[in-house]
Amino acid sequence: MKGKVLGYDAATGTGVINGDDGNRYKFSISDNKSPAAPKAGDEVDYVADAGAAKEIFIVVAAAPAAPPPGASIDMSKIAADPAVQNILAKPNVIWAGIILLGSLMAGYLFGALGMLGKIGGSVNVGFGYSVNTGLGIGALVFFLLVAIPVLAGLLIFMELTNHKLTPTARLATGAAAVGGPIILPMLGGAITGAGAGVGFDGLMMGLIMGTGGIYLFGMLVTIAGGALILLTHFGVIKKLG
């Protein structure tokens, strides 16, 4: 006989089927022979036995009900996920991610690598003369900014794998993210002759890389991520979950 499940209570393991003959049949989960538990709307095939359904097989599973408009996300289920709890218990993973984001905006990864091509260079001005347009050692100083996202990525790996050198990596990453965006541009600006003040304002790399305000905002995000790591390392900020 065929019918459709009217309802099923997982707590009691019982339900009711509305048969094609117009009668209703109670059933127990022990009579379900399909891999999945029955749910309201499932089309089933079963054997009627004195008002009860036996040997139940789900023929056509009901489509999952669509959430009502504007339904909120159950954050409690997300927070209960072991992977989420592991990250919340290790906020430095999040702070390192902030550093990576800031580094990308500031050009510390790809932009710093591009500095290697600016070490030397010249432009022919005629009459056998050329003008040096390279940044020299200053370019190498700017290149050191690549260490910031590298350390942040390494810290994420060490945090998630509980590496024994994780505390050292926290200090190194935090210090590099806080001091690097200020000290290295100052030093590079002084060496290239642009002046340390230009580097301090965060404009030196902006002028060289053409990133302008994006660089400055990325620098601030990077410094903020480093500060959060240091505050967490010294116990000022506890775990998030």
Residue 229, pLDDT score? 94
Residue 65, pLDDT score? 65
Residue 207, pLDDT score? 46
Residue 46, pLDDT score? 92
Name the residue ranges covered by the structural domains of the chain. Answer: 2-60, 77-233
| CATH code linked to domain 2-60 | 2.40.50.140
Q: Supply φ then ψ for residue 131, to 5 degrees.
A: -115, 130
Ranges in the chain, pLDDT < 50: 122-125, 130-133, 195-211
Residue recorded with tokens 């094609």: 20
Instruction: Render pLDDT for 127-145 as a digit per residue (tens, 0 to 9).
Output: 555 444 456 677 787 788 8
Count Cα atoms within 13 angstroms, Cβ side, for 115. 27
Give the whole-angstrom CA distance, residue 86 versus residue 23.
52
Residue 201, pLDDT score? 42
* pTM score: 0.55
* DSSP string covering 144-184: GGGHHHHHHHHHHHHHHTT-TTHHHHHHHHHHHHHHHHHHH
Close Cβ partners of 70 (under 8 Å, ≥ 6 residues apart) = none
Q: For residue 240, what are its two tokens?
A: 């998030």
